[in-house]
Amino acid sequence: MADGEYVLEARGVMKIFGNHVALDTVDFGLRKGEVHALLGENGAGKSTLIKVLTGAYQPDGGGIYMDGAQISLDNPLHAQSFGIGTVYQEVNLLPNRSVAENLFLGHQPLRFGFVNFRKMEADARVLLANYDLQIDPASELGTHSVAVQQIVAIARAVQLSGKVLILDEPTASLDRNEVERLFEVIRGLKAKGLAIIFITHFLDQVFAISDRVTVLRNGKLIDTRPLDDLSRTDVVRLMLGKDIAFSGATDIESNAAQNEVLVEFKGYGRKRGVLPFDLTIHKGEVVGVAGLLGSGRTEVARIMFGADPADQGTVTVNGQLTAIRKTTDAIRHGFGFCPEDRKAEGILGDLSVRENIVIALQGKLGWFKALNRDEQFEIAGRFSEAMDIRAASLDMPVKLLSGGNQQKVILSRWLATDPAFLILDEPTRGIDVGAHAEIVRTINRLRDEGMAMLVISSELDEVVAYSSRIVVMRDREMVAELRGKNINPGIIVQAIANNTDEAVA
Amino acid sequence: MKRSLRPLAATAVIFLIAYAVSVLQFPGMLSTRVLGNFLTDNAFLGIAAVGMTFVIISGGIDLSVGAVIGFTGVLVAVLITWFGVHPLVAFAIALLVAALFGAAMGLTIHYLQVPSFIVTLAGMFLARGGASVITQDSVPINHEFYRTISEAIIRLPGGGRLSFIGLLMVAVFLVGALLAHRTRFGSYVYALGGNTVSALLMGVPVARTTVQIYMLSSVLAALSGIVFSLYTSAGYPLAAVGVELDAISAVVIGGTLLTGGYGFVLGTFVGVMLLGLVQTYIIFDGTLSSWWTKIVIGVLLFLFIVLQRIIFAASAPGEESSEKV
């Protein structure tokens, strides 16, 4: 540490959970006025390092130094008093309280021992103006978009700490414009001399905003380097220790269209959900769904699966007119659905990996054909191997796994039911590059095996890589269906943006 | 209007309509006498309901309230009548005991991560059992101080009487409202009800706040027990059975969300008054069984839960835009 000018430094930090070494003598130094990207696959130790740096965990070895002096952090609040503020992926604010109170909670201006609301709201207005936010400080936070909430969270963290800002995947649920907005905020803070740690899974964003990068793998420090002399391939190689190749197949033969029709939706829609749409899905075909956040992508998935049943239109499965009013109807027809919000709608956090994998299959078999323990282990074992699920044991609670592994568990759950039609909503959101590639590979493999899929994703490169057809959503309406050579990111963006439908092939 | 205000507004409107209807039927109900008695008769319920409001806003529940009222009544009566302690000293002892009792429940809830429902259920059995161990019988209180207090009334034009305990309840509501809406402690209570994890990460002293909330609830329950003993001039171990449920009803009818995070202390006041109105109406009617009170409360409660559900589900963020379609 020759330059010794680190604002915040971790020296030889160890963290051990049971017999698992989560952090193995990791050194990490953060300079004033830099954006320092922290990268690593899921389970590499990023979150653990952050939790040590914010006082949520106590290190089992090594120490934390601030401006060269050793400090010990008891809890996040204590870290805050040292100037270390954190913004998490899920906005950790109070949706039930006003914007102003979220900014100042615990530090509200007082007058005669009582909270001075007028001053608090005036202060909030001034503070928000720095971030170009024109919102009423007295309004309930929960009524604003996630992006606004995220900026409010940053404003709070900077306001209270003002030395080090840790951004833990802040962009995971933002769309492109919102990310750009956030980056402007980050650049402004950097110019003011704040030291910023930025964690993300999007390499583009790392290169767009970061000065240096630290890569962790399996709890060990791999390297800390300035980004100037690194290429994207270098970074990926550092993260994985190997090269990965996305199959860049853009020209998936559309012979799937000649396969027999599996599901056909006609005038299918739901009031307050999605405008009526027509969609035919063939066996062995992946239909990609593109569109901005809030364009009705998720609604399409939910209506198809009967999670929010349709109130108009018809659905034909295997040539038979039928009705999907609830999810069990859909499962009976061989549908599977991996929802977008893994934590809330996907995993059963306290149940084991094994139970999470077999639960949909058990649901399909019904009450009277209980899978015994050996069968459960056999099924769970088979899928965890096929999907490369990294869990210490099949009996460990699934909530302890990393995001990518949880996603693989949910995917396994539905694959175990041997579905004919699988709906995946953002299957790669918030997971690392390795697991990402694994899931893309799985999608391709399943398609080749003849499964029909509907995949929703915000990552256009990814949708393009595996879709045989792409439908584009805008304002809760299916506005375009792209095939063949029209499947490329440029045309999709056009279709999303255009009001005229020239992009339709 | 903010959506959190809507249930409160609904309660207020229902109260006014119900009162108007009652007055049309029994003009006698529009008198300072009835209004004064409203306060006096519901004083102990109102005071306990203020504590319950804090607990429910924080996302918890306190089932020990009724038992603490009973226990306090017995403790105070025994200290005064058997041991000759001055009532004020007895009150102080009772409040202190309740504070410790509440703190113990809060500590258990926070550190052992046991649901408040279970902990306060245990607290309820402890307090009720404790009261019955001290004495099985009603212990009368004959003390100069009690007579002074019950004679300390403000006469209103029209024959109404504002009693000390009625005014005390109003004072508790006002202080409670200030505490909930104008202090950092109050904002912490709402924070816990909103999202405990976020609250912790935002630096809310979760442990301290939790303990304070249950202490507050128990202390107010004890104060309510003292008021009850002033009201009845006796202590009885089986007094105020089920009052915690009345308090919960008053809180919910007053617009506080049972899942926490939203609510108003003064809403609870309207809730208590609405419950009082139902009882008074039944007394005025004279032919109805007093159990009708329970039925009306049940219907009201059900209505309000449905109402809150509709208000909070219909205006969830992000759904407003789809309304246009």
CB B267 within 8 A of CB B8: yes
Residue A431: alpha-carbon gap to chain centroid:
6
First to last CA, chain A: 59
Q: How far is CA A152 from CA A102, A129, A134, A144, B164, in A?
A: 8, 11, 12, 10, 48
Is A95 in Cβ contact with B184 (below 8 Å)?
Answer: no
ipTM of the complex: 0.81
Q: Does B113 touch chain A (CB under 8 A)?
A: no
Tokens of B236: 């009885």
Is B325 in Cβ contact with A272 (below 8 Å)?
Answer: yes
Is A275 in Cβ contact with B194 (below 8 Å)?
Answer: no
To the nearest whole Å, the CA of A308 is away from the closest chain B CA by 14
- Which stretches of A57-145 are DSSP H helices? 76-81, 99-104, 117-130
CB A166 within 8 A of CB A197: yes
For residue B215, is pLDDT > 90?
A: yes
Q: Tell me what pLDDT residue B318 has.
A: 39
Tokens of B76: 């105070």
DSSP B6-67: HHHHHHHHHHHHHHHHHHHH-GGGSSHHHHHHHHHHHHHHHHHHHHHHHHHHTT---TTHHH
The letter for the amino acid at B210 is: T
To the nearest whole Å, the CA of A465 is away from the closest chain B CA by 31
CA–CA separation, B218 and B212 (whole Å): 10
Residue showing tokens 């508790």: B172
Architecture label for domain B3-314 = Orthogonal Bundle (1.10)
The domain locations on chain B are 3-314
CB A169 within 8 A of CB A89: yes
The letter for the amino acid at A260 is: E
Task: Compute the average pLDDT of residues B132-160.
Answer: 87
How many helices (H) and strands (E) chain A has is answered by: 16, 22
Phi, psi of B173 (to 5 degrees): -65, -45
Phi, psi of A8 (to 5 degrees): -130, 135
CB B158 within 8 A of CB A52: no
Nearest chain B Cα to A110, which residue? B183
- The tens place of each residue's pLDDT in chain A, 505 residues long, gives 445 578 888 888 888 877 778 888 888 888 888 999 988 766 678 888 888 888 888 888 888 888 888 888 888 778 888 888 888 777 788 888 889 988 888 888 888 888 888 889 988 998 888 888 888 888 888 888 878 888 888 888 888 878 899 988 887 667 777 888 888 889 988 888 889 999 887 777 888 889 999 988 878 888 888 888 887 777 777 776 654 444 444 455 555 556 788 888 888 888 777 888 888 888 888 888 887 666 778 888 888 888 888 888 888 888 888 888 888 888 888 888 888 776 667 777 778 888 888 887 877 777 777 778 888 888 888 888 877 787 777 788 887 777 778 888 888 888 888 888 889 888 877 677 777 788 888 888 888 888 888 998 877 777 888 888 888 887 778 888 888 777 777 777 777 766 444 434 3
Query: What is the pLDDT of chain B when averaged over all its residues?
Result: 88
Q: Tell me what pLDDT residue A273 has.
A: 75
Contacts of B191 in chain A (CB under 8 A): 94, 97, 105
pLDDT band at B321 (very low <50, low <70, confident <90, very high): very low
Q: How far is CA A17 from CA A402, B30, B197, in A?
A: 15, 69, 22
User: In residues, how long is chain B?
Assistant: 325
First to last CA, chain B: 23
To the nearest whole Å, the CA of B54 is away from the closest chain A CA by 15
Count Cβ atoms below 10 Å from residue B112 Cβ, excluding itself.
9
Is B199 in Cβ contact with A96 (below 8 Å)?
Answer: no
To the nearest whole Å, the CA of B202 is away from the closest chain A CA by 7
Conformation bin of residue B52: beta by default, left when phi > 0, alpha when psi is -120 to 50: alpha
Burial A1-24 (b: 16+ CB within 10 A, else e): eeeeebbbbbbebbbeeeeebbbb
Task: Compute the average pLDDT of residues B38-54.
Answer: 94
CA angle A87–A93–A96, rounded 5-degree value: 165
Q: Tell me what pLDDT residue A388 has.
A: 77
- Chain A positions contacting chain B at CB under 8 Å are 76-77, 80, 86, 88, 92-97, 101-102, 105-106, 108, 110, 113-115, 140, 142-144, 156, 160, 271-273, 275, 294, 476
Q: Tell me what pLDDT residue A248 has.
A: 43
Count Cβ atoms below 10 Å from residue B113 Cβ, excluding itself.
7
pLDDT band at B317 (very low <50, low <70, confident <90, very high): very low
Task: Indicate if the alpha-carbon torsion angle B286, B288, B294, B299 is positive or negative.
Answer: negative
Among candidate residues A184, A161, A171, the one with its CA nearest the CA of residue A80: A161
Largest CA-CA distance found in chain A, in angstroms, rounded? 77
CA–CA separation, A493 and A290 (whole Å): 9
Phi, psi of A266 (to 5 degrees): -125, 120
Is A114 in Cβ contact with B322 (below 8 Å)?
Answer: no
CA–CA separation, B69 and B48 (whole Å): 9
pLDDT band at B35 (very low <50, low <70, confident <90, very high): confident
Q: How far is CA A418 from CA A282, A409, B212, in A?
A: 17, 15, 54
The string of pLDDT tens digits covering residues B240-254 is 888 999 999 999 988
CA–CA separation, A345 and A432 (whole Å): 20
For residue B315, is pLDDT > 60?
A: no
Residue B211: alpha-carbon gap to chain centroid:
18
Domains in chain A, CATH or no CATH each: 6-240 (3.40.50.300), 260-334+419-505 (3.40.50.300), 338-418 (no CATH)
Tokens of A253: 């033969």
Q: Tell me what pLDDT residue A343 has.
A: 67
For residue B147, is pLDDT > 80?
A: yes
Torsion angle of the four alpha carbons A391, A394, A399, A404, in this order, in degrees rounded to the nearest 10? 40
The string of pLDDT tens digits covering residues B165-208 is 999 999 999 999 999 999 999 999 999 998 888 888 888 889 99
Helices B206-232 and B65-81: crossing angle in degrees, nearest 10, is 50
Residue showing tokens 């066996």: A283
Q: Tell me what pLDDT residue A504 has.
A: 40
Contacts of B325 in chain A (CB under 8 A): 271-272, 275, 476
Tokens of B243: 């009052």
How many helices (H) and strands (E) chain B has is answered by: 13, 4
